[in-house]
Structure 1
Amino acid sequence: MKILVTGGAGYIGSHTCVELINAGYQVVVVDNLCNSKASVLERVAGITGATIPFIQADLRHRNAIEKIFTQYNFDAVMHFAGLKAVGESVTEPLRYYDNNVEGSLVLLQVMAKHDVTKLVFSSSATVYGDPATVPILEDFPLAATNPYGRSKLMIEEMLRDLAHSDPAWRIALLRYFNPAGAHESGLIGEDPNDIPNNLFPYVAQVASGRRDLLSVYGDDYPTDDGTGVRDYIHVVDLAIGHVKTLEKLLASAAGVQAYNLGTGCGSSVLQMIQAFERASGRRVPYRVVARRPGDIAVCYADASLAQRELGWRAERSIEQMCVDTWRWQSMSEERFAYA
Structure 2
Amino acid sequence: MDSFIDHEVAASVVKKRRHYTSKQRILLVGEGDFSFSLSLATAFGFATGMVATSLDSKDRLAYKYCSATSNVERLRQLGCRVLHGIDATTMSKNLSLRTNKFDRIVYNFPHAGFICSETSAFQIELHKHLLMGFFENARELLSHSHGEVHVTHKQGHPYSKWELEKIAEKNGFVLIEASRFRLSDYPGYLNKRGAGSHPDRTFYVGKASTFRFKMDAGLLDWPDLISLQMVYECFAETGNSTAVIKVEVMEDEGTEATNDSDEKMCLTVERTKPVHETLVHRPVHTTSFPAINTPDKKCKLPEDDKSTAILKLLIKMVKFLVRVCFHPFH
Question: Larger Cα Rg: Structure 1 or Structure 2?
Answer: 2
TM-score normalised by structure 2 residue count: 0.40
TM-score normalised by structure 1 residue count: 0.40
Write 1 or 2 for the structure with the bigger share of helix: 1
* Higher RCO structure (Cα 8 Å, ≥6 apart): 1
Write 1 or 2 for the structure with the bigger share of strand: 2
